[in-house]
Structures are given as structure tokens and as C-alpha cells.
Amino acid sequence: MSATAIDAAARDTVAACAPVGDPEPLDVVDGVAPGLVVRPGSTDEVAAVLRAAAAHGLSVVPRGRGTKLGWGMPPSSVDVLLDLAGLDGVTEHAAGDLIVTARAGTRLADVQRHVAAAGQRLAVDETVPGASVGGTLAAATSGPGRLVTGTVRDLLIGLTVVRADGVVAKAGGKVVKNVAGYDLGKLMVGSFGTLAVVTEATFRLHPVPAARRWVSAPVEDAAQAHELVQRVVHGQAVPAAVEIEWPPGGGGVLTVLLEGREAGVEARAAVVRELLGSQATDADRAPAGWSSYPWTDTDREGRTALKLTCTLSGLAGVLRTAREAAEDAPVTLRGSAGAGVLYAALPAGIPVDAVARTVDRLRETCRRYGGAAVVLDAPAAVKAAVDLWGPVPALDLMRRVKDQFDPDHRLSPGRYVGGI
């Protein structure tokens, strides 16, 4: 069934389950227009929609706040766009247990405001402004804070999902030590909405640190950047995050975040300044662009966005390759130098063959250092010509998992690796 031609019976059945709206331009999913937009307000309504969609063989693409809807491949069809913005709000905050439960459409910023009243935080960087809880889980986004607190996958302790057939399932719990269902949580994170629809999630929290300090220093070349990162990560300063900004024109900036008690942070900041050299400076506010990607929503048209991973020993190699790629395309990097997870942006206007060569060069370097290069978002012409994911050794296993969770392949069809 096409994404825009849904017969009246199917439309009426779905409409009876939750509020329905006519598609608008902003509802287009990476170039694919939905047949209808459904806006459920509860897990039960999500389940009813998915049961109705299953009965009529309709494809369903879930959407949180739409901040990363262009990531991955375009879906092969979008009969129903499942708008989860109505699943909004924190449903439980047990401050004494350091946990919070929020519905999938809740913005991360709103969760942070809620728990901040108790001097707590969800230790997840908001790399994309306006991102929701569900979208963050689906895309597995992370920032430099992952160095110490881990990723959203590490902080997730429980969740509620709705399967493609409309069955509601729960995993984990509301106690940090409870690991029941942990594997289900790991499967959902980064699955791009292809396995099930997350409607609610529970996370463990951290106390808000009494003091934070950012120490920054310029770096001239890849070798110096590598050496300074090694000094900081393996020294006594115990950084909360180490981020590098690496523009295509030369030089770069390394920034170290320190957190903790006021006196301790001041002492450790002095240690880091000494490690980074005489040009190091520090501030009690994050520098511009901290924890964000080297691209914005406003420049999405035409640009290419990548995620690069490598072992810590491979940082210099990745930085060098990014500079060497300038003969084909200027590459801007930003990311967690301390964790070996970087993000790259290629500007609009680069020929597709030049983008392909640049991706290949970065991919080969990342592979050599135990990592990978994934194209997160790109123009349609690039997505048609370039393998977004690269080699995936576990692809057969991933396909079997997809068959188990969604045997008819109706959830976000074709968006993920290998056409999953």
C-alpha cells in the first residue's frame, strides 16, 4: 500500500483509536509523505493504533519532536505517521532513589527542569535542541558527557514499548539495581523505531555538581591534540568530558569539563591548565557549541552529517584524515575526544562523488582504529549513492531480531541498516 493512498476502511479504523490529522509539509519523513497523522495521548491509544494498522497492513513511522526524522534512510512507506508529542510529561520522580520516569514525547529539557528542582539531572547531553526522550533513545544520541556517565543506554533502567501487533510490553523497573529486561532496553536504543514504539522510559539520575569549569586550549595539529587528550584522560584531573572542535582550515580547540565540589574543581582546573599549556584558559560557562553537533537544523538542506568512532589511540589518525579530505570536501569535526566519538559535517554543494570519497576515507581510518563511520543525514542524492552504514558484521542477527519483533516489517520500514 502506498504512503498516500489508504482506503477509507483503514482510515476509519485508525481514526477511531486516536485523534487524526491531515498530513502537513512538516510531516514528510525524509521526502516520504504520510497517508495520515495520528496523535495518541497514551500508551493504550498507541497500542490501539498499532493493532488497527496491523489489521490493515499499514506501515507506521513513530515521531517524537521531529528533530532527527531525516536520520537514516527514507522509509519505504509511511501509511501512518505516529506523532508521540502528545505523550508528554514526567510521570514519576523518586528523588530519594535518583530515578525519573517520563513519557516518550517529553522534551529532554523539560525532564531536566523537573528534576533540577531536587538538585538532580539526567546526565544526557541535549545535542539536538528540542529533542524528546523517545527520539533520543531511538537515535542513541550522545555528547561529550558520555566519558564518565555513559550514554542514554547506560542510564536507562526501564521502559514501556508497544510492539508492531499492538501488544504492550515492559522491561526493567524503577529501582537502579533491577536489571530485568535489560536486553530489551539495549535493543530499543538506536533502533530508529524499527522494532517497537517506546512510550515511556525510566532513567537513573545524578546529583547536579556543586561546581563546573571548562578549560580550553588551542591545538595546532592532530599529534598535539592526541598528546593533550592522553595527558588529560590518563592524568589525575578526572575530567567529566573532553571535547574537541576541529575546523577544516587549521588548528582546533580542546575543551575539558571538570565537575565536583568548588575547591576540588578549582584545584583540578589548575592541573588541567598546566597540562594543556600556557595558552589554556578557563571559564564557569560552557563555550559556544559545547555538546552540540557541528551542524544545525538551519543548514540541513544539502549538508552531510556523520558519526565517527575510534579507539582513543586512533584520534590523531581520524583528525588527520579529516584534514586530508579537504581536497574533496571541507570536514568540520566536533565531539568527545575523550571517548573516541566524533561528529562530522560536510557543507552543502559538495558533489556526490566527492562526498563518497570523503566517507570512504574516514570509514577506512575509523575501521583501522576499531571504529566505524556512519552517515546520519544527507541529501537524497548522497543517500542514493553512498552506503550510509558501512560494513555491519552483525547484520544477519539484526535481521533476525527485526523478524521477531516486526515480522511484517511495518515499523519504520527501510530506515535502518540493511533495509531493516
Closest of 338, 314, 163 to residue 239, by C-alpha:
338
Whether the CB-CB separation of 61 and 41 falls below 8 Å is answered with no
pLDDT of 176: 47
pLDDT of 250: 84
Q: Which three cell numbers stand for residue 368?
A: 583501522
pLDDT of 229: 97
* Distance of alpha carbon 111 from alpha carbon 108, whole angstroms: 5
How many CB atoms sit inside 10 A of residue 8's CB?
Answer: 7
| Separation in Å, CA 270 to CA 133, 148, 234, 266 | 37, 20, 16, 6
pLDDT of 174: 63
- Which is it for strands 341-346 and 90-94: parallel, antiparallel or unpaired? unpaired
Q: What is the pLDDT along the chain (420 residues), one digit of tens a residue?
A: 334 568 888 899 998 999 988 888 889 999 999 999 999 999 999 999 999 999 999 999 999 999 999 999 999 999 999 999 999 999 999 999 999 999 999 999 999 999 999 999 999 999 999 999 999 999 999 999 999 999 999 999 999 999 999 999 998 876 544 444 447 888 999 999 999 999 999 999 999 999 999 999 999 999 999 999 999 999 999 999 999 999 998 889 999 999 999 999 999 999 999 999 999 999 999 999 999 999 987 777 789 999 999 999 999 999 999 999 988 999 999 999 999 999 999 999 999 999 999 999 999 999 999 999 999 999 999 999 999 999 998 999 999 999 999 999 999 999 999 999
Q: Residue 243: phi, psi to the nearest 5?
A: -120, 145
pLDDT of 178: 45
DSSP string covering 54-79: HHTT--EEEESSSTTTTSSSPPS--S
Give residues with Cβ within 8 angstroms of 157, minimum separation 6.
99, 172, 173, 174, 175, 176, 178, 179, 185, 202, 203, 204
SS3 label, residue 103: strand
Q: Which three cell numbers stand for residue 381?
A: 542524492
Same fold, 1-208 and 211-283: no
Q: Which three cell numbers stand for residue 275?
A: 597540562
Rg (C-alpha) for the chain, rounded Å, is 22
The residue ranges of DSSP E strands in 84-166, in sequence order, are 90-94, 99-103, 120-121, 156-162
Whether the CB-CB separation of 384 and 311 falls below 8 Å is answered with no
Whether the CB-CB separation of 385 and 354 falls below 8 Å is answered with no
pLDDT of 180: 47
What is the Cα 340 distance to its own chain's centre? 15
Half-sphere exposure for 386 (CA within 13 Å, toward CB): 29
* Distance of alpha carbon 366 from alpha carbon 273, whole angstroms: 30
Task: Delimit the domains of the chain by residue range.
Answer: 1-208, 211-283, 304-394
* Distance of alpha carbon 407 from alpha carbon 114, whole angstroms: 39
Closest of 75, 61, 98 to residue 196, by C-alpha:
61
* Distance of alpha carbon 195 from alpha carbon 165, whole angstroms: 11
Sheet holding 80-83, edge to edge: 20-21, 36-38, 80-83, 60-63
Whether the CB-CB separation of 402 and 51 falls below 8 Å is answered with no
pLDDT of 44: 97
**Which CATH fold would you assign to the domain 304-394?**
Alpha-Beta Plaits (3.30.70)
pLDDT of 301: 79
Q: Residue 266: phi, psi to the nearest 5?
A: -60, -45
Q: Which amino acid is at 248?
A: P
User: What is the CA angle 316-321-322, rounded to 5?
Assistant: 100
User: What is the CA angle 159-310-258, rounded to 5?
Assistant: 70
* The CATH number of the domain covering residues in 1-208: 3.30.465.10
Instruction: Return the CATH class of domain 211-283.
Output: alpha beta
Residue with cell 547531553: 125
What is the Cα 149 distance to its own chain's centre? 16
* Distance of alpha carbon 29 from alpha carbon 160, whole angstroms: 24
